[in-house]
Amino acid sequence: MLLFSNVFISCCAVAQGGLTYLLLGWPFDFRILTMLGCATLALYNFSMILARPAKPAESPFRRVRWIFRHERQLWLFTLIAGIVVILMLIQLHRESVFICLLVGILGLAYNVPFIPLKNEKPVGLRHIPGIKLFYIALVWVLSCVFVPVGEAYHAGIIISWTQVLQLAAWMFLFIVGITIPFDIRDVYQDRHYGLKTIPIMIGERNTYLLCLMLLLIQAVWVGVSGYPIEIRIALISVTLVTTGLVFMPVVRRSTGEYYYFLLLDGMMILQFLAVYGVILLDGFR
């Protein structure tokens, strides 16, 4: 239930938001972190409901079958999360609210059919060729980096825009890297729905090479940054573990869907825990 109800991915959003506060050296804003978790839960649940297959009970994916067996609970979770988001939003400044609304619109536009096609039904943004990986990463970066930055600006916190943009780029590369295996897994399903994702366009092998390149770029960039060596080692270690997971098919075969929704997504939480652990240990010295 923790995985399939999108509660776990919501915890990942909280962790990535927390990572932003840690790497920028700011105190946690628990209003923002609460909103990130609840907004992610509501958005992912709503997107799943919108993407409901014709016969969910016959889906080859255990997660899809579970979700639509518990659709009422899913709606309840979504409603509660939505109410919490609204309560958090009314406490934030205008710029932060604007970024949050932009993220919400982008998230919905991905699945909601609104782009008219000649002689065909309208489609969502996910039908734009090759956009899926980068679109998802953009939404995560806007949520987990720029929402905290927007609120910190109004709190009078000194902002290093060089650090902010560097962190945004790191997160973008990492999110794209861990999303690529999902796209490769969904090739046959995406072909059925007429989606032109990166694996469909350039092939599975080249997509894996793209994943390797992006994760290595992120690791090298972190390595040459100005952060303390302990933090750099923590971040690079998680990236290397992630790279190992992506390129170890035995792990994928032995863990099934948990490989995607626990191990790969869990790397976002591991990033936060690794950096937080380093900072805690440094504080005890």
pLDDT score of 2 more than 70: no
Tell me how far apart the alpha carbons of residues 85 and 257 are, in angstroms, rounded to a whole number.
29
Tell me how far apart the alpha carbons of residues 202 and 150 are, in angstroms, rounded to a whole number.
37
Average pLDDT, integer, range 131-152: 92
Calculate what percentage of the chain has a pLDDT beyond 90: 49
Tell me how far apart the alpha carbons of residues 17 and 147 are, in angstroms, rounded to a whole number.
9
Q: How confident is the model at residue 177 (pLDDT cuts 50, 70, 90)?
A: very high
Is 232 or 51 the better-scoring residue by pLDDT? 232
pLDDT of the residue at 209: 94
pLDDT score of 262 more than 70: yes
96, 150 contact by CB (below 8 A): yes
Helix or strand (DSSP H, E) at 120 = strand 120-123
pLDDT score of 118 more than 90: no
DSSP secondary structure letter of residue 26: -
Q: How far apart are the first and last CA of the chain?
A: 40
pLDDT of the residue at 285: 53
Tell me how far apart the alpha carbons of residues 59 and 75 are, in angstroms, rounded to a whole number.
20
Q: What angle do CA 235, 240, 242 make, to 5 degrees?
A: 95
Adjacent-strand bridge partners of 120: 117
Pick the closest to residue 17 from 35, 29, 33 (CA basis). Answer: 33
pLDDT of the residue at 126: 73
Calculate what percentage of the chain has a pLDDT beyond 70: 86
Query: Which of 21-25, 111-115, 117-121 is the least confident region?
Result: 117-121
Per the listing, tokens 């863990």 go with: 255
pTM of the shown model: 0.89
DSSP secondary structure letter of residue 125: G
pLDDT digits (tens, 9 = 90+) for 186-197: 776 777 667 788
Level-2 CATH architecture, domain 7-284? Orthogonal Bundle (1.10)
Half-sphere exposure of 99 (CA within 13 A, CB side): 21
